[in-house]
Structure 1
Amino acid sequence: MRWKKITVGPVQENTYILYDSNNEAIIIDPGSEGTKIIQNIESLKLKPLAVLLTHAHFDHIGAVDSVREKYQLPLYIHKKEQDWLTNTKKNGSMHFGQNITAKPASHVLTDNDKSLKIGSFSFEVLSTPGHSPGSVSYYLKGAAAVFSGDALFAGSIGRTDLYGGSQDTLLKSIHEKLLQLPEETVVLSGHGPETTIGMEMDSNPFLGGF
Structure 2
Amino acid sequence: MKWKQIPLGPLQTNCYLVYDERKTCLIVDPGENPRKLTGIIEELELKPEAIVLTHAHFDHIGAVDRIRDKYGIKVYIHEKEKDWLTDPALNGSKYFMQHEPIKAREADELFTDEGPISIANFYFEVLETPGHSPGSVSFHFPKSKFILAGDALFQGSIGRTDLPGGNHNQLIKSIHDKLLVLPEETEVLPGHGPTTTIGMEMESNPFLNGF
Q: Deviations over 1:31-83 (max 9, x none)?
A: 00011111000111111100000000000000001111000011100000010
Query: Partner of 1:63 in structure 2?
Result: 63
Shift of 1:113: 3.7
8 A Cα contact 2:116 2:124, kept in partner? yes
Task: Write the mapping of 1:143-182 to structure 2, written as runs, cut at 5 A.
Answer: 143-182=144-183
Secondary structure in structure 1 of the residue aligned to 2:21: coil
Aligned partners of 2:72, 2:102: CA distance in 1, in Å? 20
TM-score norm. by structure 1 comes to 0.98
Shift of 1:179: 0.4
8 A Cα contact 2:114 2:128, kept in partner? no
Query: Partner of 2:106 in structure 1?
Result: 104
Shift of 1:118: 1.5
Structure 1 unaligned regions, length at least 5: none
Secondary structure in structure 2 of the residue aligned to 1:122: strand
CA RMSD of the aligned region, Å? 0.8
Query: Partner of 1:10 in structure 2?
Result: 10
Residue 75 (structure 1) aligned with residue 75 (structure 2): yes
Secondary structure in structure 1 of the residue aligned to 2:162: coil
Aligned partners of 2:2, 2:23: CA distance in 1, in Å? 10
| Identity within the alignment, % | 57
| Aligned AA (2:136) | S
Aligned pairs, number: 209
Shift of 1:115: 1.6
Query: Partner of 2:136 in structure 1?
Result: 135
Shift of 1:119: 2.4
Shift of 1:209: 1.2
Shift of 1:114: 1.1
Moved over 2 A (4+): none
Shift of 1:164: 0.2
Aligned partners of 2:42, 2:196: CA distance in 1, in Å? 28
Structure 2 unaligned regions, length at least 5: none
Higher mean C-alpha displacement, 112-121 vs 77-86: 112-121
Q: Deviations over 1:135-159 (max 9, x none)?
A: 0000001110000000000000000
Shift of 1:16: 0.2
